[in-house]
Structure 1
Amino acid sequence: MHHEEAGAVRPLTLAWVRRHLEVGERIVGIEELHGGITAEMRRLTIGTRGGGCRDLVLRTFVDPYFVAHAEDLLNREADALALLADTDVPAPAPVAVDPGAAHCEYPSLLMSHLSGRTVVADEGLEARVPLLARQLVAIHALRPAGRPQEYEAWTTADAVVPPHGADAVAWAAATDVIRKPAPRYEGRFLHRDFQPGNVLFDEPPHDAAGLRISGVVDWVQTSWGPADLDVAHCSTNVALLHGPAWGPRFAEAYEEAGGVLAVAAGERLYWRSLDALAFASGAEWVARPWREAGRTELTTRAVEERLDAYVVDLLEALG
């Protein structure tokens, strides 16, 4: 292992990782993983006793806000991964967790590595959307013996600040929608941050028809709540990443895959507005990893314009 690579993971954390390896294993490589927003992510290549290699992934919270919430978030993710190990949902397996930084410099989670890659290009989106929808339907079909905590809304009507130049009438109307009490709903197991950046695809060489989802990652926000909320979150992300028209298309694909959403248009509007308006102050936050992945045209301003168009479209379609 190169010295510079070893320095990428702090000494106490390295020692903690080593204590959770099999006898005779060693860390032979460390690679920073890009695309994450809330945590440092690294792939650790482990040399095995037989001369082979396997990979693990290390999540470390260093931002003060997430460090303060790490115990809940990392325990929630570790519990979700343990639950998912007995299902058909492709998710990492938990290896070790130090949510209170009792052993590491910062709160950390060690888990297995999944093959595949995130795909954020417009090309091939028509084939990926149904796969994303079917995967989310499968997640919502899970019935765990112990429910995760109830979902939390990520904005309130009083906190919404429309982007510069946004359609003031549409944003005022959407804000009034989420000022009302949340509609009644039938609870489901939610990923809570299901979107293209958290889904891995495997595509066999020269065989686009063989495209499949190889993993769903980032389960720190796992919650219990309405299926509409997970669908709304993915719809917003798809609309910002690929254009406003793709938001409703994802919701349609979810229902085509057998998913059940609220019947009343007003209820659908509530959940989709609740999610979309939460992006008003975070356009740069979500756009940065997309630009790092090659979508350099997605400036903060471009994402804000897509968000505004999406909110207008929601009001016209469901209002």
Structure 2
Amino acid sequence: MNHDEAATVGPLTLTWVSRHLEAGERVVKAVALHGGITAEMRRLTIGRRDGGTRDLVLRTCTDPIHTQHAEGGLHAEAGALTLLTGTGVPAPSLVAVDPTAASCEFPSLLMTHLAGRTVLDDQGVERRVRLLARQLVAIQALRPVERPRKYVTLTTADTVVVPKGTDEAVWTAAIDVIRKPPPPREGCFLHRDFQPGNVLFDVPPSKPGDVRITGVVDWSPSWGPADLDVAHCSVNLALLHGPVWGMRFAEAYEEAGGILAATVSERLYWRVRDALAASEEVRSVSRPWREAGRPELTTRAVEKRLDAYVTALMNALG
């Protein structure tokens, strides 16, 4: 194995990975995958007996802040990948999981590698928004025999970080929205982190209009209102491409057959809740976007887009 790359994957983890390979296979290379926030991602090239190669992906939870929640998260993701097998939803297949670091240096999950790449630039966003909406409708149509855990929302009125230079009245009104109890809503299967950074696309160079989704990754399955997944993708689109695309996604979702909450006030609650949750994570989400080729998305630039999106929500639905 490449010695420089071997240093990025601990020896215990490499031994664990090797135990889950086919006879005669070995890890020959590891490459860091950028864009992750809560875990380190590596693409492992596996040398085969016939001289060919195949790729796997290793998720390793090394951050002390997130490691304490790794066991539940990796268990949930492993369960989701198993559930999704054969459903038509393009997700990786589970190879192995060590959620408690019983064999590895850190909690880890090994899965198959999917073709495609994340696409975060503005060109072609209209087509991708429609594809994202259709894919989310398909995910939420799943009806597992055993429901995943109930959704959790951590943001409260007291944890919102109001960006500098905002309209105080608008943000006060938005924060007041989430002081209320969540509206009752029939639940469905949620990805719980469905957004452009967790969707892989194939974009033919000669025909970019023929873009298609090849994979959905980073599953945190939950059971809850469909509006939650819609709200989460909407705010990410607003921060990546501008508030108009955050507002557009809910329309595309309904056009694709998705069903949102019945009343405007209920829709506002979920959309505002996820937008305000983003206020606590602007720095952490903007960094991987810059690393992925969007250097203009500084923390301050993303804060301004978030402010504009919250204002648009309150004007349209408030």
Shorter chain as denominator, the TM-score bin is over 0.9
State the distance in 1 between where 2:66 and 2:95 align. 21
**Following superposition of structure 1 onto structure 2, how do residues 216-255 of structure 1 map, counting pairs within 5 Å?**
216-219=216-219, 221-255=220-254
State the distance in 2 between where 1:230 and 1:191 align. 7
Identity within the alignment, %: 69
State the distance in 1 between where 2:239 and 2:154 align. 17
Which deviations, in whole Å up to 9, do the C-alpha atoms of 1:180-202 show, x marking residues without a partner? 01011110100010000000001
Answer whether contact 2:95 2:111 (CA < 8 A) is retained.
yes
Q: Following TM superposition, by how much is the alpha carbon of 1:154 offset from its aligned partner in structure 2, in angstroms? A: 3.0
Which deviations, in whole Å up to 9, do the C-alpha atoms of 1:24-69 show, x marking residues without a partner? 0011111000011110000000011122111000000011121111
State the distance in 1 between where 2:85 and 2:66 align. 26
Which deviations, in whole Å up to 9, do the C-alpha atoms of 1:145-172 show, x marking residues without a partner? 0111000013011221211222211111
SS of the residue aligned with 1:56?
strand
State the distance in 2 between where 1:13 and 1:77 align. 19
* TM-score, with structure 2 as normaliser: 0.99
What is the CA RMSD across the aligned residues, in angstroms? 0.8
State the distance in 2 between where 1:96 and 1:167 align. 49
Answer whether contact 2:151 2:224 (CA < 8 A) is retained.
yes
* TM-score, with structure 1 as normaliser: 0.98
State the distance in 2 between where 1:298 and 1:14 align. 36
1:56 aligns to what?
Answer: 56
State the distance in 2 between where 1:209 and 1:83 align. 31
Answer whether contact 2:95 2:112 (CA < 8 A) is retained.
yes
SS of the residue aligned with 1:245?
helix
Answer whether contact 1:43 1:58 (CA < 8 A) is retained.
yes
Q: Which ranges in structure 1 are unaligned for 5 or more consecutive residues?
A: none
Runs of 4+ in 1 over 4 A off after TM superposition: none
Q: Which ranges in structure 2 are unaligned for 5 or more consecutive residues?
A: none
Q: Following TM superposition, by how much is the alpha carbon of 1:205 offset from its aligned partner in structure 2, in angstroms? A: 3.4
2:278 aligns to what?
Answer: 279
Answer whether contact 2:117 2:200 (CA < 8 A) is retained.
yes
2:36 aligns to what?
Answer: 36
Which deviations, in whole Å up to 9, do the C-alpha atoms of 1:231-273 show, x marking residues without a partner? 0000000000000111110110000000000121100000001
**Following superposition of structure 1 onto structure 2, how do residues 118-129 of structure 1 map, counting pairs within 5 Å?**
118-129=118-129
